[in-house]
Amino acid sequence: MTALLLWCYALLCGFIALRLLAFRRAEGQHRPRVAWLAYGLVVTAGSVPLRLLLGQPVPLDISSFGAVFVLAFALCAARGNVADLFRAPKLRREHPITRFLRKNDHV
């Protein structure tokens, strides 16, 4: 059971990395902070299946699996757009994380 859960975990992490790598921004504005966040997610999620294939131990518990499952589902719903994960509805006040990610780093 544990080996099956570990391989499912690796597949979900691989899906996250590939989904983020396949994202294509339409005509929206480039936000460097969101791009760096997506890059960090690709590196961390993509390392799990690679470590498993190379025979290194990958720590896993049910809460980590649940968090990765929810993140994979959310990224699938957002079509790979990390900024959409933090976008607040129009009627509500903007979330501080969204405000931080929307800031332009153009100097």
In this structure, are residues 28 and 87 in contact, taking their beta carbons and an 8 Å threshold?
Answer: no
Q: Is residue 32 part of a domain?
A: yes
Residues 5-51: tens digit of each pLDDT: 889 999 999 999 999 998 887 777 777 888 898 899 999 999 999 99
Q: Is residue 63 part of a domain?
A: yes
* pLDDT value of position 107: 45
Question: Per-residue pLDDT averaged across 81-88, rounded?
Answer: 77
Please give the Cα distance from 84 to 25 (Å, whole number). 12
CA-wise closest residue to 15 among 83, 68, 93, 88:
68
Q: C-alpha dihedral over 71, 98, 42, 40, to 10 degrees?
A: -130
Mean pLDDT, rounded, of the chain: 82
CA atoms lying within 13 Å on the CB side of residue 63: 0
Q: Is residue 107 part of a domain?
A: no
Q: Is residue 14 part of a domain?
A: yes
Range of the structural domain that residue 17 is part of: 2-102
Q: Is residue 73 part of a domain?
A: yes
Q: How many domains does the chain divide into?
A: 1
Question: What is the model's pTM?
Answer: 0.76
